[in-house]
Each structure stands twice: as C-alpha cells, then as structure tokens.
Structure 1
Amino acid sequence: MKFYRRWQPVSAMTFDLDDTLYDNRVVITRAEQLLLEWLAARCPKMAGFNRAQWQAMRAEVIAADASLVGFVTEIRRAQLTLAASHCGLNETEAKALADDGVAFFLHERSNFSVPSAAIDVMRKLAAHYPLVAITNGNVDCDRLGLSPLFRQVLQAGPDGAAKPDRALFAKAQSLLGEPADSILHVGDHLKADVRGAKLAGFRACWFNDTKRPLTMQRHASLLPDVEITHLSQLLMLSQ
C-alpha cells in the first residue's frame, strides 16, 4: 500500500467493478468469441468480418453519434446493427438481430464467478462502511451475487454519464449522505476512477494489481490518495 496524501479515515466507499473486483478482460474476451459464433450461426455472412472490420464499425457508429461514448451496451447494439446491414439485412431485421445479439452477449458477459477472496473482502468492508458500486460496464450484479453488498449499483447510461463525468459520483454521494471528501472511491482506471473521483471531490484509491509504475501511465493526470495491489489492503484502512 502506498499513500500519496496524509490519510484520514473515511465514512463510506464506492467501487468500480470491472477489473477491480474481477479480471474483466478474460470475461469479455470469452463473451465476444461466443457472440461471434452465435452471430455466424444466425447470419453466416457475419463470419466474414475480421477484427479490424469489427473495430472499424465500432469507430464508425461512435463517430456518427457522439452521445454513445461511454455507453458500452448501446455502442455494441449500434455496431451489430451496422454489421447486419452490411450483410444485406433490412432495417427491421438488422435491429432484431442486434437486439438478440446484445441480449446473448449480456448473458455471457455475466456468466462467471467473482473470486471468493474479493467477495470476502467486500463483505468485511460492508460491515464497516456503506458501499455503492459505480460502473461504466454492464455486468449483472444480481447474477454475480454482488448486489447485496451495495446500497445501490450505479451504471453509466441508465444512471448518468460515464466516469470520469461527475454524474455517477454525485448520485453516489447523494445516496450515501456523506461529504464527498469522506468517501473513498476504489478503481483500477486512472482516468475514469482516479481522475473522476478527484474531480468529484472524493478521495481516490488506485487498484493497481499489476504493479504498473504510476509515473509511466498516460492517464495519470491526478494523483490518487492511496494505491493498493490487493483488495485485502483496504481492510487495513478500516482498523
């Protein structure tokens, strides 16, 4: 654990989910591969798209509608709709395929188990602090058994603009009923989590399980208050 500012006790915590409580990269890689197989079975022409083409279609839909930025589910829906149209489906067919594809993906991206060590830490923290989750992702916390640990799970899109925008942090502060500077936000992303938290007046904990040097990170525009490499280190802050 490394402190960048003098530590003062906090009265509440907020948590990022993806790549903080579990390795989301592995989960997404698997879900996307299963989605590609599902799409190819539904529309064989989909199998002809390579990775570069999928990335280009993602960039195209974002360029066409900047309001999609930060809303990962709607970006994927628009991307699949565009891909379906390139395969010759009409507007109605393309939309239906995209909607079904998104539903399939959302099921698979939540088809995993959160590490028991992370669950154990969160249960212990929940006994000391009120907790709120703040995520830019679309994981199903009910399926993962995470919902009981939090007063509420706030998701970019339904609950406000994506981090680092202040919207979700402000909503979390309102739910917690605590001063911003007495709330610690924990997350792995230096821009979305650390910068977002600091701009909202929260204190920030950088979860750096890969032990990356802070000074070498391109998103390190604002210092966190504390850096940890294991979630269990948070328990030391509650002692």
Structure 2
Amino acid sequence: MIFYRKITPIKAMTFDIDDTFYNNWPYIKEAEQALTHYIADQYPSLGHITWADRLAAKEKVLTQRPEIAFDMCKLRLATLEFLFSDLGLNPIEASKTAQDCFAYFYFKRSDFTINPEYHSTMSVLASKIPLIAITNGNVNMQQIGLAQYFTGVYHASVEYKAKPHPDMFIAAQQDLLVSMQDILHIGDCPINDVWGAYKMGMQTAWYADDREMSINQEKFRVLPSVQLTNLHELVDLI
C-alpha cells in the first residue's frame, strides 16, 4: 500500500465494479461479437447487422432520448429496437426481437467469473462492515457471484446519473447511515471513482484489475487516500 493521506476509521465501503474486480473490455467485446452471430443465426433477415451498425444506431437513439444515456440496459434495448424498426420490423416484432437479443447479450456480458482471491477478501470485509456497489455499468452481479457481499447495488440509470456525478455516492451514504468521511470508496478510475468520491467527502482507495497501476501514467485530479497493491490489503484497513 502507498498512503497519500491519513486514513481515519472506516465504518463502511463502497466499490466500483468494472475494471476494479475484472478487466471489463474483453467481456464486452466478446459479448458484442456473440450478439452479432446470434442475430445472424436466429434472425437471418437481420444477419447483415454489424457491431458498427449498432453503434451508429446508439448515437441516433442518444440524440432522440438523452435521458437514458447513463442507463446501459435501457440504452442497449432502445438501440436494438430502433435498429430493428429502422430495418422494417413492425413495432411488436421489433420490440420482441430486441428483448430477445438484449437478454442474450446481457447473459453473455456477465458470463464470467472473478478472481477467486477476491471472494475471500470480500467475504471477510462483508463480515465486518457494510458494503455497497456503485457502478456505471450493468453487469449482472448475481451471475458473476458478487451480489452476496453487498447490502445494496446501484447501477447508473435514469434515476442515478453515472459517476463522478454525486447521485450514487449520496444514495449509498443514505443507505449506510454513516458520515461520508467514514466511507472508503474503492475503484479504478481516477475521475469517476477517486475524484467523484473525494469531492463528496469520502476516503478513497485506488485499485485496478485491468491494467498495471502507475500513478504517474494516470490523469488524477486529486490523489487517492491510499493506493492498493492488491485488494486484500483492504482487510488491514478495518
């Protein structure tokens, strides 16, 4: 561990998920590729649709419905429905096909397991203090085996803007019933996690599973309270 400021007693922790517990991009890429094949296999008339087509449709949907920009589930479902409608499916068919394709993608997007060492760490932490997950993503926490450790899970959505916006930090603190300064937020992103939590008055721990951690190669607005070498070091902080 590298300490950049004094750690005061910790009564609760909040965790980022994507890129903190696993490298998110390979799973997203694999799920996108799987969805392309699934559409071609299950809906041959739509088989020409590519990942690039879905990205283009997403931009159009965001222009029309900016209020769902933070909600990855609603945005993806709306994108698929828009794309299928644009290709000639009637509203009922487009909706039904979009829901089926989204369900397939969502399963594939969450079809992996995390490092077994993280389970032992989270089990110890959860037995000592309350934990809440706050993520800008939409991974299925039950499917990847993390839900069991958290008293609550917040995903960015229409109701809660994505980090570094305060929404999810505030919601977590209200659930935890402790002061902001008594919460340690753990995450990989210098802006969304470290800066976002710091400006709310939380203590912060920087940890990334998806890359080599070099603080000089990251764009920090403020240094974290502590930089972790491995996630299990959190046990020593409580």
2:77 aligned partner: 77
Report the secondary structure of 1:127's partner residue.
helix
1:193 aligned partner: 193
1:205 aligned partner: 205
**Which amino acid in structure 2 is aligned with residue 217 of structure 1?**
E
1:33 aligned partner: 33
1:174 aligned partner: 174
Q: Determine if contact 1:195/1:221 at 8 Å carries over to the other structure.
A: yes
Deviation at 1:195, TM superposition (A): 2.0
Q: TM-score, normalised by structure 2?
A: 0.90
Distance in 2 between residues matched to 1:93 and 1:171, nearest whole Å: 38
Report the secondary structure of 1:142's partner residue.
coil
1:68 aligned partner: 68
Q: Determine if contact 1:208/1:227 at 8 Å carries over to the other structure.
A: no
Report the secondary structure of 1:108's partner residue.
helix
Deviation at 1:215, TM superposition (A): 4.0
Deviation at 1:123, TM superposition (A): 0.8
Report the secondary structure of 1:141's partner residue.
coil
Name structure 2 gaps, 5 residues minimum.
none
After the TM superposition, list the runs of 4 or more consecutive aligned residues in structure 1 that deviate by more than 4 angstroms.
none
Q: Determine if contact 2:181/2:202 at 8 Å carries over to the other structure.
A: yes
Would you say how many aligned residue pairs link Structure 1 and Structure 2? 237
- Residues 153-201 of structure 1 deviation map (CA, whole Å, 9 limit, x = unaligned): 1222276222222111111111111110110011112222122212222
Deviation at 1:38, TM superposition (A): 1.4
Deviation at 1:212, TM superposition (A): 4.0
Report the secondary structure of 2:206's partner residue.
strand
Q: For residues 156 and 68 of structure 1, do their structure 2 counterparts lie closer, same or farther at Cα, with a shift above 3 Å needed?
A: same
Report the secondary structure of 1:93's partner residue.
helix
Distance in 2 between residues matched to 1:159 and 1:124, nearest whole Å: 31
**Which amino acid in structure 2 is aligned with residue 73 of structure 1?**
C
Q: TM-score, normalised by structure 1?
A: 0.89
- After superposition, residues 117-128 of structure 1 pair within 5 angstroms as 117-128=117-128
Computed over aligned residues only, the root mean square deviation of the Cα atoms, in angstroms, reads: 2.0
Name structure 1 gaps, 5 residues minimum.
none
Report the secondary structure of 1:55's partner residue.
helix
Distance in 2 between residues matched to 1:32 and 1:52, nearest whole Å: 10
2:53 aligned partner: 53
Q: For residues 81 and 173 of structure 1, do their structure 2 counterparts lie closer, same or farther at Cα, with a shift above 3 Å needed?
A: same
Distance in 1 between residues matched to 2:235 and 2:37, nearest whole Å: 42
1:150 aligned partner: 150
1:214 aligned partner: 215
**Which amino acid in structure 1 is aligned with residue 235 of structure 2?**
L
